[in-house]
Amino acid sequence: MLTPLADAVRATCGGKAGALGALVRAGLPVPDGFVVPFAAHLAAARDVSTTHGDARPAPTPGNLPPALLDAIAHRLHALGDGPVAVRSSAGDEDGAHASAAGQYRSVLGVRGVEQVADAVRACWTSLRSPQAVAYRDGSGPGAEPVMAVLVQRLVDADVAGVMFTADGPAGVTVVEASWGLGPSVVGGTVTPDAYRVAADGSVTAAIADKRTRVDRRATHLVTGDVAASDRARRTLDDAAVARLARLGRRVAAVLGGPQDVEWAMVDDELHVLQARPVTADLPASARPAQGPSPATLVGTPGSRGTATGAARIVRGPGDFARVRPGDVLVCPWTDPAWTPLLRLAAGVVTETGGVLSHAAIVARERGIPAVLGIPGATTRLHDARTLTVDGTAGTVTTHT
């Protein structure tokens, strides 16, 4: 009914759990856990269909079978009954050509069988969420979606982030990092520190103004302000960045190619939280120190290409109906719920976020130019004005 993480494979436990299972078997530092496999989801769906005459493959929220609850309680006890991370591991997630980055649910910091059961149901239900459906529609036809759920010990990180491992022996490893847990980096709500590790081991760093962080408080995640003295302080020294790069090479060797790795560090100990294939190349890191004119703003190149369209300031779901095909989205950051907008947008501009965030990954998969991390973009740029977004150079130009 449940699968130990060490035994997880993609065919029965999804891409996320399957990759982590391979890393566990190779002896890499992955938090222990277990998987609610595809079979449990399909069985729950059949129970719903039998009870309600509903043939949908995704069950609506309800009670998990008693035997499944008992199995989860047993596994949680074996993990120490502490806080856990409950994360999706869908059949179409973390693939070689489509990542589904951020499209399904993750619930961090839950504790006890009742909260874990609620989180499992949330992951199952997210298989049919509007953003997940829009993402799958944009990826072309595929197999009927199915969901496994990964449950792991939660790492209360001091520092966390994302790493793209080097593509070949002459490649560069790219690391993004910020204080606290990883959702602020993958969700693009903070502009993280960016580190590059060359083939010769040399490290270059671009230190960001990291204003917020996410941490666990009991069974909730809270967003708080970063102390003023830490905002411009390096999250990682060169030695830690080099250790991450070495870990990344081990991950890539086990999984057979360049990887997009989510990681966390606590008490100087590194943990691998996720690894999936890199689905689209990063744009070049070079960007101009300033724009060629006052009408040009400079940010981080997030997804290569150029697009021109009307600026559409989007601060939340209440603005979604205003977006028209060919508009340039200008937003504080992009949430996974905004994925349907990427089917309309010609380009994307954000106030915060790094090149390894979920939104940037999806933009690159969709071939949508994106420029990230332009402070105050939603007030410095004006609605309906014509913009040109150059996601290769990292510039946004307003046309008069």
- Are the beta carbons of 310 and 385 closer than 8 angstroms? yes
Question: Can you list the alpha helix ranges (DSSP code H) found in the chain?
Answer: 10-25, 38-52, 66-78, 113-126, 130-138, 183-186, 228-231, 238-255, 358-366, 377-380
Grouping H, G, I as helix, E, B as strand and the rest as coil, residue 194 is strand
d(CA 228, CA 342): 35
3-state secondary structure string across 148-165? EEEEEECCCCCEEEEEEC
In this structure, is the dihedral angle defined by the CA atoms of residues 267, 273, 278 and 281, taken in order, positive or negative? negative
Residue labelled with tokens 């719903």: 48
Return d(Cα 364, Cα 172) in angstroms, integer: 18
Please count the other Cβ atoms lying within 10 Å of the Cβ belonging to residue 120: 28
Give the closest residue to 223 by CA, choosing from 189, 194, 192, 193. Answer: 189
R_g of the chain computed on alpha carbons: 21
Six-digit token string for 390: 């150059």
Q: Is 52 a catalytic residue?
A: no
Query: How is residue 98 written in tokens?
Result: 């489509």
Of 162, 104, 107, the C-alpha closest to 135 is: 104
Alpha-carbon distance 225 to 215, whole Å? 11
3-state SS, residue 98: coil
Cβ of 54: how many Cβ atoms within 10 Å? 13
Query: What is the β-pairing status of strands 328-331 and 306-313?
Result: parallel
**H or E segment at 8?**
none
> What distance separates the 2 farthest-apart alpha carbons in the chain?
66
Q: Which of 97, 220, 271, 358 is catalytic?
A: 358
Q: Are strands 3-4 and 300-303 parallel, antiparallel or unpaired?
A: unpaired
Q: Could you give the C-alpha distances from 198 to 243, 261, 356, in angstroms and in order?
A: 13, 17, 18
Residues with a catalytic annotation lie at: 358
